[in-house]
Amino acid sequence: MKFSKNVVSVLEIGSSKINVVIGSRGVNSTFNIKGTGEAPYSGFGNGEFFEPNKLKTVFAKAINSAEESSLMSVSELYVGIPAEFLRCVCQTISSSFEGKKRLNEDMVAYHYDKAYQEFEGETLISTSSIYNIIDDGKRVMDILGEKTSKITSMVSSIYAKTTFIEMLNNLFKELGINKVTYVSSSLCEATFILSEEQRTTASMVIDVGYMSSSVCIVKGNGLLTLNSFSLGGGHIMGDLAQCLKISYSQAEALKRKIVLSLSPSASDFYDISDSTQTKQVPVKMANEIALARIEMIARCINECIQVYLKESSDYLPIYLTGGGLNYMKGAKDYVSKLLGRNIEEAAPPLPDLNKPHYSSLLGVLNYALKQEEKNNIGFLAKLFKK
């Protein structure tokens, strides 16, 4: 079965698995999930895939699973690219008109096209506004339909390495995908989990994932900064497995049991079980191992904060999402203590899907559906003009 109207397919490149979702818009800005697919893989670090020769197989597995569960075929994809493969560039642009004009799609495109900069070896994947100022100093999120004689905008552009995009293009072509739209997972996530009101001022969104984490500053509809580092919840599990001489599956179970706010005694233990045995692990030792790695993550986050504070002294709300730390009891509070700043948990604003590890994937889905809705409106507008 082919896609019906306003059904989109999205693929998210995670640091431990590839996720695919096929969905449409539901009532009250919810989603109708038609099908899902996932495929674990070795991931990436420092902006490089660990096993690039296996990507085609992994992508195919995730896409095929989504097709089978939805009874639909995927020929077009929105692909969420993680921060490790992207760069953010901001600049201010201005446009003037002869007298007040109501801004149509062509005028808006002409204005934002001024933000385009060519960088050797890089490909532009998105342009979005941090703010727009029109006549009388009025600030607006969306300039389409506004009546003004001039516009000044701060614009955020996201670039990826051209070799990276070409590699993905070739891979998707081999898989029979006819059209691919690349987007920043961090941008989609931040503009999804934070409301328009929250984004009227700058906010920091930290996504601690499995093997990689991103830190971005979002304002308006764009990113002021985008940073990443190759640390995440998977490193905590690796430390637990190595230091305590337990299996990786046992370390994963232990990570879910850890309570970092405890003040344990020598007689306190965590019980971890697998198919063959139950093992006791000293609470104090397990907590200290986890805290040491979380301190490393916090130092990386703090570096991102300090870089931003050199440019701005404004109050900066901080939100933590992703599955790397949010499911560890006491982790968010410990990071907050280390940074000396309040941190709030952030998740998708949906009743049944409000889990931090869904933030990025559903953010890409939300972005894709919004783009399709805009395309349909634009098509109808042009149709009625004929």
Instruction: Kindly report the three-state secondary structure assignment for every residue of the chain.
Output: CCCCCCCEEEEEECCCEEEEEEEEECHHHCEEEEEEEEEECCCEECCEECCHHHHHHHHHHHHHHHHHHHCCCCCEEEEEECHHHEEEEEEEEEEEEEEEEECCHHHHHHHHHCCCCCCCCEEEEEEEEEEEECHHHCEECCCCCCEEEEEEEEEEEEEEEHHHHHHHHHHHHHCCCCEEEEEEHHHHHHHHHCCCCHHHCCEEEEEECCCCEEEEEEECCEEEEEEEECCCHHHHHHHHHHHHCCCHHHHHHHHHHCECCCCCCCCCEEEEECCCCEEEEEHHHHHHHHHHHHHHHHHHHHHHHHHHHCCCCCCCCEEEECCCCCCCECHHHHHHHHHCCCEEECCCCCCCCCCHHHHHHHHHHHHHHHHHHHHHHHHHHHHHHC
Residue 5 banded pLDDT, cuts 50, 70, 90: low
Q: What is the pLDDT of residue 232?
A: 97
Q: What is the pLDDT of residue 49?
A: 96
Instruction: Let me know if the fold of 86-160 is the same as that of 193-231+297-345.
Output: no
Q: Global pTM?
A: 0.93
Per residue in 46-61, pLDDT tens?
A: 999 999 999 999 999 9
Residue 11 banded pLDDT, cuts 50, 70, 90: very high
Contacts of residue 77, defined as CB under 8 A and 6 or more positions apart, other chains included, come to 9, 10, 11, 63, 172, 177, 179, 180, 181
Q: What is the pLDDT of residue 193?
A: 98
Percent of the chain exceeding pLDDT 90 equals 86
Domain 86-160: assigned CATH number: 3.30.1490.110
- As a whole number of angstroms, the distance between CA 248 and CA 239 comes to 10
Q: Lowest-confidence range among 115-119, 177-181, 275-279?
A: 275-279
Q: The CATH number of 8-84+163-191+351-385 is which of 1.10.3080.10, 3.40.50.720, 3.30.420.40, 3.90.79.10?
A: 3.30.420.40
Average confidence score pLDDT of the chain: 93
Per residue in 14-47, pLDDT tens?
A: 999 999 999 999 988 899 999 999 999 999 999 9
Q: What is the pLDDT of residue 312?
A: 81
For 247, other C-beta atoms within 10 Å of its C-beta total 14
Is pLDDT above 50 for 383?
no
188, 189, 191, 197 alpha-carbon torsion, rounded to 10°: 170
* Domain segments of the chain as ranges: 8-84+163-191+351-385, 86-160, 193-231+297-345, 233-292
Is pLDDT above 50 for 384?
no
Q: What is the pLDDT of residue 376?
A: 64
Domain 233-292: assigned CATH number: 3.30.420.40
Q: Are 325 and 233 in contact (CB under 8 A)?
A: yes
Question: What does the pLDDT average to over 254-274?
Answer: 91
Is pLDDT above 90 for 380?
no
Q: What is the pLDDT of residue 313?
A: 75
Residue 382 banded pLDDT, cuts 50, 70, 90: very low
- As a whole number of angstroms, the distance between CA 272 and CA 110 comes to 60
Residue 360's nearest CA partner among 8, 6, 11, 9 is 11
- Beta-bridged to residue 132, according to DSSP, are 140, 153
Q: Which fold has domain 193-231+297-345?
A: Nucleotidyltransferase; domain 5 (3.30.420)
Q: What is the pLDDT of residue 311?
A: 82
Question: What does the pLDDT average to over 283-296?
Answer: 97
